[in-house]
Amino acid sequence: MPDGRTVAADDAIALEIVRNYLMRTCEEMKAVVVRAAYSTVIHEVLDYCCGIYLPDGGAAAEQSGIPIFLGNVGSVIQAANATIGLDALEPGDVIIANDPYSGGSHMCDTTTLLPIFDRGEPFGFVGFRAHLLDYGGKAPGGLFSDTTEVFQEGLVIPPVKLYRAGEPNPDVFRLLEANTRFPRENTGDMRALVSASRVGHERVQELIARYGPGRLRGMFDELMDRGERASRAAVEQIPDGTYTASCTHDGTGSDDAPLDGPYRIAVTITVDGSDMAVDLTGTSEQLVGPANCPLGASISGIRAAFKYIVAPEYPTNEGCFRPLRVHVPEGTLLNPRKPAPTSMYFTPVSSVIELFQRALAPAIPDRTIAGTFGDICVAVYFGKHPDSQQPFLCSEPEGGGYGASPQGDGESCLVAPLNGDTKNVPIEVAEVKYGVICERYELVPDSGGPGKFRGGLGSVREFAVRADAEVGVSFLFDRQLEPAWGLEGGRSGGLNQAWIDRGTPAARRIGKITDHTLEGGATFAGIAGGGGGWGDPFERDPELVQRDVRDGFVTFEAAARDYGVVLDRDTFDIDQDATAALRSDRGSK
Amino acid sequence: MQELNASTVRVATDVGGTFTDSAVLDEHGHVSFEKAPSTPADYSQGIVDCLGRHDFTAEEISSMVHGSTVVINAVIQRKGAKTAFLTTDGFRDLLLIQRHNRPQIRNIRYRKPVPLVERALQLSVVERMTCDGTVLRDLDEDGVRAVGATLRDAGVEAVAVCFLHAYANPAHEERARELLREEHPQLEVVLSSEVMREYREFERASSTVVNAFTRPVVSRYLDSLERALELRGAQGELYVMNSSGGVMSPDQARWNPLQMMESGPAGGIMGAVELGRLIGIDDLVAFDMGGTTVKASLVRGGEPAVLREYEVPGHHPLMMSVLDIVELGAGGGSIAWVADDGTLKVGPRSAGSHPGPVCYQWGGREPTLTDANVVLGRFNPANFWGGELQLDVEAAEAAIKSHIGDPLGLDVTAAAAGISEIAIASIRTAVRIVSVERGHDTSDFTLVAYGGSGPMFASRIARELGLRGVVIPFAAANFSAWGMLTADLRYDRSQTLVRPTDQVDAGQLVKQFELLERELDALLEHDGVPPEARSFARQLSMRYAGQEHTLEVPVADEPERGALDEVVARFHELHEIAFKQSVPGEATEITRVGVTAIGAMAKPQVRPLELTSGTAADALVGNREVLLEREFELLPVYDRSRLAVGAVVEGPAVVEEPTCTTLLQAEDHAVADRYGNLLIADADVLPALADRANATEAAHA
């Protein structure tokens, strides 16, 4: 427990007001960036995180559009302190960094830091992290499956000053603009990050003026203590014990030239009272290809996985994670050594969230689910709009099925757990902006893992290249080999898939591909798989199976094969005798 | 303007979940207010009951403006027409996929909102338009007929048709309607291209579905209301309050029920706009605090901020014009509680009017903000609702002690003050969001505070956020109903049109504007608005090339090339205000043209009060111990109804009226203007406020 430091009685009220003010400040900062942003990855995918931090990087308040970014800014602050140093900062400075090995994740993820001073003394930082479009590298968009060094992935920016004492540092701006294919978009988004950070800075100054720096700092400490208490109370609800889980990813490289074969992510969680220790020993050695996740980002992933289970509603600050101890062996793909490439860092780290669910499901079945489709399933397409000749780039995740639980079926077509309030680009917007034609965007029948409770359905989205156009595509779909797992007798969901010219004689199933050119008339399709089922599908209420068939979520064949339910093809009526026969036949085996 | 018949009354009625409110303006310019229980089985009964409490007959009604929660209730309770959905083949699952987002980002068991259309009635047919409105695939007419037969056999009442890019070319939707009607003549067919000609297929589909789902409900509702009024001999025109702050004809409400979604709150904001006009205040924040929530809205240059998207709480997004209202869960009935981690919270749960706050003695056991205010001496327990309700101070104290004070180790006073401070922080947030966070300088704005709890906190909020001053309107507790009497007819139309600004053909743009204006003009013509009372305001949605989100930029009548440069300059300015950055010289894009049509209606004549020579002392009715912020102090109490025009009250003080109480802070000076509004500001600012308020009688000559 904390050292018993408490705030005075009337501070209990001020504390709530300050907490709400900090959360609102994060909201306000987010609104500026999301609404002014150029990059779809910011304004639709919400690939951002922002917060108010102590000088050492601890978050007093933090908010992210996607869960995976939690705590990532703090590692960049630590890196900046180690290189630039607090003493070398002055009011109005803005630090920028994207170096995966200075607390970052992959090259596009850009952090800006704005130091806060009180009468010359460092008080903390306003931090913002967001995914910018492009820093050069071998193909547009910074998403590659086949790099072998971080240097191939774009311009590495260690913490440097983008602004000095409020004035732009033109040398750095010129350097950055010379190293991107989308200078207008990148610079516009950087401006948005700085504007938002200045808003955050103003708000913290208002708080300092109102409460004084000492009292405010005391309240930050108290908020963290309360965050710790909330987490500890929640960890105590989990039965003591050691829980393990693992899963396998497909590999890296491209279909023609693979770099790595299947690799493994392993998680061991030990719960002891209100403490939780997480050990990723058993995870594969670092890879040749880019599915490596730098340590800072791995810790963020572990924090996200923890927060899904431990007091998820409680506002995030550094204290929430004090009960968590983490061990990630150096040299594994979740703690790689420079210059291992990291473009696909999100693929392995997303599994950490999933494996927390898988490991803890037996202990806390009412708070966990069976496997999801397991990868963000990102496709990138880029080119020139055939009408305006404007260059464009779209990188978007697909929505797949979530796992079932003892409380019900899984949800269909949602972004992966490492994403959050991430919206798709509307078809009508995509067609205007990128000059492509969408052929279909639908749920995939039978993709939900059968179970007493069924997994959610995946989706298929297929685009055609206009006859007068040419489009480059990169597909980074993983988990095409290991499907979403079921629990307690529930079965697997349908697999993730990527296709070129699906359903034609030239059809080609894609594992991974980077910067592949498609001519006019070609199609490309992403299929996100379904979620895993929960419990024996032969125990599913036949009327639920009937409803699924009527709704088109399960086919007649699958109803009989996977659920042992026989339906009349015209009336959808349940054939009771045939169903009883099928179900008892299986039961007697 | 439409003339008022001198021997008639104008009526506003607002049907809420619990009560139906009315405001009646008689031929002498007097306004009266009544309240009656709402009658969900047939809401028209409650309206008739409520009007029956006033002193006039139905024959005397010259016009009635009506606001209602019927549409939002139909959606939330899922009680609407049996509705089907028809879209382009390949996209049948649009209503299930939605935007594939997980708004509760750490809820791994998140469930999407369930569509209003059952899965078996979500259907598709072969057809396809491209984004410029070219036919890519012909409409499968036999397929549509088959759908029509299916819907007929399934007993479907309404169908929402939303084809991709129908905003660019509605031909397939229109043909589908003919074919569907051939098979199923009773079917209500709602086309997305009629509801909203803008891109973003899910939001347009969702809007079309809600329209179809509620259209029969609204038709029945308005039929029954019109019949009830007619039966009683009412001859006047009926208007329906819409979410964008205007009124519309019942026909338009039947055609696009979405616009009724937020009709209640819109009344208060338009009242603040009209009041501002009356007393010479163009820049204001309308602040409404009732039993359950606090609402704030910004009015700049006499124009309320309007948004173009809306979400039924926890349900689907809609494309519609709606006043920018920020609403937070803190009102007089909001319940105070201590969270697991030992922090004090107020709301969002509310005791409402039943069981109500503990001090009402109607069975409420959990302490509310109103209980805290009673304990802090802010309400007069003997003069609440004009003495109709005797408040139980001890019961309020006991509840605050046991629920809040004891768990937090605070005495009753500190606990009650804490509840008040938390609520004030919520109000501050709501007012800040619409002003500071939208890039405005609060010192340019005046707070107009109404609702049962608004006046109590207004001056404190204005001081903390640096607003110029406060207006507590006459009839502050019934202000929303009064506001409905002041609204003009308002219709909005728009069209998606995505172009780089430097490639826009100004002639084409003018043509688009004129097309929309012709449609809108026909509506006003139909409503009997004379040509001189019609006006049109043009807007463009713009952004920097490459951005996604847009800003609404007002446009003068003729966007010739040169004028377009002014529009672009205006866009840079607005971007600077909203996002604290702009890039003059950077390429911009247009995404939408829009027009708002206004049909000016006669405004209620507010009769100025007689100027008298009374002083504040004449209105002094006593003293009591009140805690404003830190400690109890003995404050003078004034009766607002006895306050002479021009008499200055110096804070700290309490100004009471039967339905609400105003608190003045230490530096406040307050004065009643000649319309009975209470103006509050610093001593050096107040005279200017009062002079303007008293000088603007020309507004209604």
Query: Mind listing the pLDDT tens digit for each residue in B306-328?
Result: 998 898 876 779 999 999 999 99
Range of the domain at B365: 334-423
Q: Amino acid identity of B338?
A: V
Rounded average pLDDT over B3-9: 57
> Residue B225: inside a domain, yes or no?
no
B26-34: long-range contacts (C-beta < 8 A, 24 or more apart)?
B26/B56, B28/B607, B29/B604, B29/B605, B29/B606, B29/B607, B30/B607, B31/B475, B31/B482, B31/B485, B31/B604, B33/B475, B33/B478, B33/B481, B33/B482
Residue ranges of E strands in B617-656: 620-627, 632-639, 648-650, 653-656
User: What is the number of other CB atoms lying within 10 angstroms of the CB of residue A544?
Assistant: 16
A394 token code pair = 């779209």
Q: Which residues of B touch A426 (CB under 8 A)?
A: 99, 199-203
Is residue A589 scored above 60 in pLDDT?
no
Helices (H) then strands (E): counts for chain A:
12, 22
Angle at B550 between CA B548 and CA B551, to 5 degrees: 160
How far is residue A267's CA from residue A356's CA, in Å, rounded to a whole number?
A: 7
* Residue B483 distance to chain A (closest CA, Å): 31
Minimal Cβ distance to A38: which of B410, B425, B546? B546
CATH number for B117: 3.40.1360
Residue with tokens 């230490």: B666
In terms of domains, do B178 and B280 share one?
Answer: no
Q: pLDDT band for position A500 (50/70/90)?
A: very high
How far is residue A382's CA from residue A393's CA, in Å, rounded to a whole number?
A: 4
Q: What is the mean pLDDT of chain A?
A: 93
In terms of domains, do B479 and B496 share one?
Answer: no
Q: What is the pLDDT of residues A563-587, one digit of tens each?
A: 999 999 999 999 999 999 999 987 5
Chain A residue with the nearest C-alpha to that of B102:
A421
First to last CA, chain A: 55
Is residue B1 scored above 50 in pLDDT?
no
As a residue count, chain A comes to: 589
Q: Is B574 on the interface with A (CB under 8 A)?
A: no
In sequence order, the 6+-apart residues with CB closer than 8 A to the CB of A434 are A381, A383, A385, A392, A394
Find the range with the poorest average confidence among B275-284, B294-303, B554-563: B554-563
Angle at A441 between CA A436 and CA A445, to 5 degrees: 150
CA B472 from centroid of its chain's CA atoms: 19
The answer to whether A421 contacts B102, with C-beta atoms less than 8 Å apart, is yes
Q: Which of residues 412-441 of B touch A (CB under 8 A)?
A: 414, 417-418, 421-422, 425-426, 429, 432-433, 437
Q: B447: which strand partners? A: B285, B470
Q: What is the pLDDT of residues B47-78, one digit of tens each?
A: 888 888 888 888 888 889 999 888 988 898 89
pLDDT of residue B700: 43
How far is residue B51's CA from residue B45's CA, in Å, rounded to a whole number?
A: 10
Q: Are A13 and B422 in contact (CB under 8 A)?
A: yes
The answer to whether B93 contacts A459, with C-beta atoms less than 8 Å apart, is yes
- Mutate one of A1, A6, A11, A17 to test the B interface: name it (highest B CB count within 10 A): A17
B383 token code pair = 């003069």
Domain boundary among the residues B544, B569, B599 is at B599
Q: What is the mean pLDDT of chain B?
A: 91
Q: Are A520 and A386 in contact (CB under 8 A)?
A: no
Is residue B479 scored above 80 in pLDDT?
yes
Q: Is B337 on the interface with A (CB under 8 A)?
A: no
In terms of domains, do B277 and B139 share one?
Answer: no
Q: Which residues of B touch A550 (CB under 8 A)?
A: 119-120
> Residue B626: inside a domain, yes or no?
yes
Burial category of B327 from C-beta neighbours within 10 Å (exposed 0-12, middle 13-18, buried 19 and up): middle
| Of residues B673, B283, B263, B656, the one with CA closest to residue B480 | B263
The answer to whether B341 contacts A402, with C-beta atoms less than 8 Å apart, is no
How far is residue B531's CA from residue B526's CA, in Å, rounded to a whole number?
A: 11
Q: Which residues of B touch A466 (CB under 8 A)?
A: none
Q: Which residues of A touch B164 (CB under 8 A)?
A: 427-428
Is residue A274 scored above 70 in pLDDT?
yes
| Of residues A242, A239, A297, the one with CA closest to residue A267 | A242
Helix B201-231 to helix B43-52 angle (10° resolution) is: 50
The sign of the torsion formed by the CA atoms of B262, B265, B268, B274 equals negative
Is residue B701 scored above 70 in pLDDT?
no
Q: Which of residues 295-334 of B touch A (CB under 8 A)?
A: none
User: What is the number of other CB atoms lying within 10 angstroms of the CB of residue A568?
Assistant: 12
How far is residue B176's CA from residue B173's CA, in Å, rounded to a whole number?
A: 5
Is residue B558 scored above 80 in pLDDT?
no
The answer to whether A9 contacts B408, with C-beta atoms less than 8 Å apart, is yes
Helix (H) or strand (E) holding A306: helix A295-309
Q: What is the pLDDT of residues B654-666, one digit of tens each?
A: 999 988 899 999 9
Is residue A3 scored above 70 in pLDDT?
no
User: What is the number of other CB atoms lying within 10 angstroms of the CB of residue A521?
Assistant: 11
Chain A residue with the nearest C-alpha to that of B545:
A38
> Residue B431: inside a domain, yes or no?
no
Chain B residue with the nearest C-alpha to that of A388:
B500
Residue A93 is classified by DSSP as: -
User: What is the number of other CB atoms lying within 10 angstroms of the CB of residue B150?
Assistant: 16
pLDDT of residue B382: 86
Q: B448: which strand partners? A: B286, B471
* Residue A588 distance to chain B (closest CA, Å): 35
**Proportion of chain B above pLDDT 90, given as a percent:** 66
How far is residue B353's CA from residue B16's CA, in Å, rounded to a whole number?
A: 13
Helices (H) then strands (E): counts for chain B:
18, 33
Rounded average pLDDT over B491-500: 93
In terms of domains, do B565 and B637 share one?
Answer: no
- Per-position DSSP letters for B159-189, written without gaps between them: EEEE-TTTTT--HHHHHHHHHHHHH-TT-EE
In terms of domains, do B477 and B493 share one?
Answer: no
Q: Is B585 on the interface with A (CB under 8 A)?
A: no
Is residue A37 scored above 60 in pLDDT?
yes
Find the range with the poorest average confidence among A526-530, B288-292, B462-466: B288-292
In terms of domains, do B88 and B131 share one?
Answer: yes
The answer to whether B90 contacts A226, with C-beta atoms less than 8 Å apart, is no
pLDDT of residue B696: 65
| Of residues A453, A437, A454, the one with CA closest to residue A445 | A454
| Of residues B396, B372, B446, B455, the one with CA closest to residue B657 | B455
Phi-psi region of B78 (alpha: psi -120 to 50; beta: other; left: phi over 0): left
* Residue A227 distance to chain B (closest CA, Å): 8
In terms of domains, do B404 and B298 share one?
Answer: no
Judging by DSSP bridges, how do beta strands B632-639 and B588-599 pair with one another? unpaired
Is residue A497 scored above 70 in pLDDT?
yes
As a residue count, chain B comes to: 701
Q: Is B630 on the interface with A (CB under 8 A)?
A: no
- Mutate one of A314, A432, A439, A523 to test the B interface: name it (highest B CB count within 10 A): A432
In terms of domains, do B204 and B84 share one?
Answer: yes
In terms of domains, do B537 and B589 share one?
Answer: yes
Complex confidence, ipTM: 0.94
In terms of domains, do B498 and B645 share one?
Answer: no
How far is residue B636's CA from residue B655's CA, in Å, rounded to a whole number?
A: 9
Minimal Cβ distance to B100: which of A424, A429, A432? A424
> Residue B11: inside a domain, yes or no?
no
- Mutate one of A229, A442, A554 to test the B interface: name it (highest B CB count within 10 A): A442
Q: What b/e string do you get for B295-313 counting C-beta neighbours within 10 Å, with b at 16 or more?
A: bbbbbbeeebbbebebebe
A578-582: long-range contacts (C-beta < 8 A, 24 or more apart)?
A579/A542
Q: Which of residues 481-510 of B touch A (CB under 8 A)?
A: 498, 500
Is residue A322 scored above 50 in pLDDT?
yes
Is residue A5 scored above 60 in pLDDT?
no
The answer to whether B106 contacts A308, with C-beta atoms less than 8 Å apart, is yes
Is residue B5 scored above 80 in pLDDT?
no
A241-to-A246, A328, A329, A369, A405 alpha-carbon distances in Å: 17, 20, 22, 19, 22
> Residue B611: inside a domain, yes or no?
no
Is residue B516 scored above 90 in pLDDT?
yes
In terms of domains, do B176 and B298 share one?
Answer: no
pLDDT of residue B7: 56
Number of domains into which chain B is organized: 5
pLDDT of residue A9: 47
In terms of domains, do B460 and B548 share one?
Answer: no
**Phi and psi, residue B551, nearest 5°:** -115, 150
Q: Which of residues 79-98 of B touch A (CB under 8 A)?
A: 90-94, 96-97
CA A21 from centroid of its chain's CA atoms: 27
On the CB side of A537, how many CA atoms lie within 13 Å of its CA? 27
Domain boundary among the residues B394, B423, B452 is at B423
> Residue B51: inside a domain, yes or no?
no
How far is residue A313's CA from residue B198's CA, in Å, rounded to a whole number?
A: 36
Helix (H) or strand (E) holding B358: none
Q: Is B631 on the interface with A (CB under 8 A)?
A: no
List the domain boundaries for chain A.
Answer: 11-227, 369-540, 542-588
Q: pLDDT band for position A219 (50/70/90)?
A: very high
Domain boundary among the residues B599, B630, B663 is at B599
Q: Which residues of B touch A385 (CB under 8 A)?
A: none
Q: pLDDT band for position B389 (50/70/90)?
A: confident
> Residue B67: inside a domain, yes or no?
no
pLDDT of residue B3: 44
- This prediction has a pTM of 0.92
Q: Amino acid identity of B598?
A: I
